Homo-oligomer: A and B are copies of this chain.
Amino acid sequence: MRMLSEASGSIAGAGALLTILRDGQARTRAELVQLTGLARSTLAQRLDALLSQRWIIPTEEAISSGGRPAVAFTFNRSARVVLSADLGATHARVAVTDLATEVLAERAAELPIDRGPEPTLTWLQRTFEEMLAETGHSFDQVCGIGVGLPGPVEHSSGRPVNPPIMPGWDGFPVPEWLGEHLGVPVLVDNDVNIMALGEHWSARPEADHLIFVKIGTGIGCGIISDRRLHRGAQGAAGDIGHIRVASALDTVCRCGNVGCLEAVAGGAAMAARLRAEGVEAVDSRDVIRLARSGNTQAVQLIRQAGRELGDVLASIVNFFNPSMIVIGGDIAEAGEQVLAGLREVIYSRSLPLATQHLSITASELGDRAGVIGAAVMVIDHVLSPDTVDQAVTRA
Contact = CB atoms under 8 A, between A and B. Distances in A.
A42 interface: yes
22 contacts: A2-B31, A208-B233, A209-B232, A209-B237, A221-B319, A225-B230, A226-B230, A232-B354, A233-B322, A234-B356, A236-B321, A237-B320, A238-B319, A239-B318, A240-B319, A243-B315, A243-B318, A244-B349, A246-B246, A316-B316, A319-B319, A320-B320
A352 B244 CA distance: 14
A6 B34 CA distance: 8
Interface centre among A31, A243, A356 (most CB of B within 10 A): A243
A242 B161 CA distance: 34
A39 interface: yes
Question: How many identical subunits does the complex contain?
Answer: 2
Contacts of A358: 233
A152 interface: yes
Interface of A: 2, 5-6, 9, 12-13, 31, 34-35, 37-40, 42, 152, 161-162, 208-209, 221, 223, 225-226, 228, 230-240, 242-244, 246, 312, 314-316, 318-323, 349, 351-354, 356-358
Given A209-B237, A239-B354, 15 more contacts: A5-B34, A37-B38, A37-B39, A223-B320, A231-B321, A233-B357, A234-B321, A234-B353, A236-B318, A236-B351, A237-B320, A239-B321, A239-B351, A240-B318, A243-B318
B234 A319 contact: no
Contacts of A38: 37-39
A343 B40 CA distance: 59
Contacts of A351: 236, 239, 242
A152 B354 CA distance: 10
Contact of A233 (B2, B5, B152, B321): B321
A351 B262 CA distance: 14
Contacts of A233: 208-209, 321-323, 354, 357-358
Q: Which 5 A-B pairs have the closest CB atoms?
A: A232-B321, A233-B323, A39-B39, A237-B321, A225-B225
Contacts of A323: 233
Contacts of A6: 34
A303 B238 CA distance: 29
Contacts of A356: 234
A356 B154 CA distance: 14
Contacts of A314: 243-244
A18 to B, nearest CB: 15
